[in-house]
Structure 1
Amino acid sequence: MTTLSMTPEDLADLRYAKSLLENPGLAARITNVVGTPIEKGLAMLPESAHAMIGKATHKALQTALDMAVSTLEEQPQLSSNWLHKTFVGISGAAGGAFGLPALALELPVSTTIILRSIADIARSEGEAIKSPEARLACLEVFALGGPSSLDDATESGYFAVRAALAKSLSDALEYLAKQGITQQAAPPLVRFVSQIAARFGIPVTEKAVAQSLPVVGAAGGALINTLFIDHFQNMSRGHFIVRRLERGYGAAAVKAAYLALP
């Protein structure tokens, strides 16, 4: 299939999705807010801080999924992006006021709100949000936050991430089909969450460094958290547009059309 096989509306949606998915740019947007390149703070971050961020990231992802999705209904409707931005901004004020030590408390709260927003967007794009596949697809969005050395350089960034997660996602779905979502400590789910956490840790670290800067404060922390959720809302919209088109045209055809776009 070529891009010409799609309706003009679907092709426009795919072009929009690609513009979101291939241009994350979270660090650059945060730098514009704080006025200091995030790379400088990352270089000075001690190893103990990296370990703390990794632990907080993993715990936040483990606890957020069921809580976030369970509050949504099945019916498709418009997503409430600004409502979720407001709640995440409030939680980010604590990070800006108290810096890096507040991350362990703030991150599970903001991650749960962000995941609920991701699920809200997924539902608006026609996902059956109570299904195991849709739940894991929501969690998959957190892996779209930063590049990895494991990514295939010949792929687009978006499809490289999906390819890297494909095996653990398939194993997790197979487990959920047999056991349900209550056994979150099961090895297939642990492996999947661990892969997500490794990638989610990149933007979390950028956020944490920015919020720990003395010039940020509570107001700046709220703004940084708003950029943080905006980033994942964009990734989510792009991801679920692609999945919606895949349901209509097939995964291989949509990927070919996506790669053919400039």
Structure 2
Amino acid sequence: MAIPVPFSASPSAVAGSLGQQERDDLARAVMLLESPSLTIQLANLVGTPIEWGMARLPKAARNKVQGLVQIALTKAVSAALLGFKDEPSRQSSPRLHALATAASGAVGGFFGTASLAVELPVTTTLMMRAIADIARSEGFSLADPAVQATCVEVFALGGKTADDDAADSGYYASRGALSEVLKHTARELTGLAAKRAGQQVAQAGSSLQTGIWLARMIDAVAARFGVVVTEKLAAQIVPVVGAASGAAINTLFTRYYQSVAKGHFIVRRLELQYGEALVQQEYEAILVRRRLAR
């Protein structure tokens, strides 16, 4: 089942209430998307608060993270889908991608912050492949530029910026920070496709517009992903961390974003079937029940 542009379901897409299978799927998505933050999981892994590493992270390393993140995301978009067959609903292979990023993390752990410029693009590309693999398993077509952009969006769902409200930082709040960029660029692509008459011109125009669109997405996503990358870098300079622990950190890093991707694409699939408003309402109801059950 190839799924169309995933950014905004029309009111006509609303089809009553969710069935039991869909409710179960959504409950799983809530569990994946509302799990402890990556900051907490990294601290638990290295046995030290991330603030310890942040205070000792060289200023030069912190300053160059944002630029490297943008480069890494840009390279990942073009490189990650090479060799991927467009087979919606094909089963994903999360363990394979986690092993690959563990290997790159071992290199980063051994050489420390000096390896960031080499290790980050490799790790980000491997993670992008893992995310795309999950999108495909949920029935989305990787040939659709909008789906590719949604894969990029996943990187923004794992981190916060300094402007975020700490009391309002859940899944839908994180998505809201990108919603205007997504909706605007989605409308542009739709309008462009409608206006192009010749197939070759349409392909050339769409390719150019897609590049502009993804560049905007990367700008919006990089700030949030950069925060997470900086925290990951801080975890890697904890004294006990070496090559083996660098691999463990990258495995945790990848598995975290795989979980976010799985939850995100479950939600997007259900929103296309039932409408965003209904799915968000059901999502929040499940979240409330989870909190009351604690």
Q: TM exceeds 0.5?
A: yes
- Separation in 2, partners of 1:135, 1:246: 18
Partner of 1:55: 67
Partner of 2:77: 65
- Read off the aligned partner of 1:166 and give its amino acid letter: S
Partner of 2:137: 124
- Separation in 2, partners of 1:70, 1:90: 20
Partner of 1:45: 57
- TM-score scaled by structure 2? 0.81
Matched, 1:159 2:159: no
Say whether the 8 Å CA contact 1:147–1:157 is kept in structure 2.
no
Matched residue of 2:156: which SS? helix
Deviating more after overlay: 33-42 vs 78-87: 33-42
Q: Give the superposition deviation at 1:155.
A: 5.3
Partner of 1:30: 42
Deviating more after overlay: 132-141 vs 144-153: 144-153
Alignment counterpart, residue 114 of structure 1, candidates 111, 127, 137 = 127
- Separation in 2, partners of 1:236, 1:153: 22
- Separation in 1, partners of 2:236, 2:271: 38
Q: How many pairs align? A: 258
Partner of 1:233: 258
Q: Give the superposition deviation at 1:238.
A: 0.4
- Separation in 2, partners of 1:42, 1:152: 21
CA offsets 1:139-186 (integer angstroms, 9 cap, x no match): 000001122344467756111121111121223334555333456763
Sequence identity percentage: 46
- Separation in 2, partners of 1:189, 1:64: 11
- Separation in 1, partners of 2:22, 2:185: 30
Larger Rg: 2
Q: Give the superposition deviation at 1:24.
A: 4.2
Alignment counterpart, residue 200 of structure 1, candidates 214, 218, 225 = 225
- Separation in 2, partners of 1:156, 1:260: 17
Gaps of 5+ in 1: none
- Separation in 1, partners of 2:221, 2:36: 16
- Read off the aligned partner of 2:227 and give its amino acid letter: I
- Separation in 2, partners of 1:153, 1:250: 28
Say whether the 8 Å CA contact 2:17–2:274 is kept in structure 1.
no
- Separation in 2, partners of 1:152, 1:56: 26
Q: Give the superposition deviation at 1:70.
A: 3.5
Partner of 2:98: 85
- Read off the aligned partner of 1:204 and give its amino acid letter: V
Distance 1:208 1:152, change over 3 A: closer
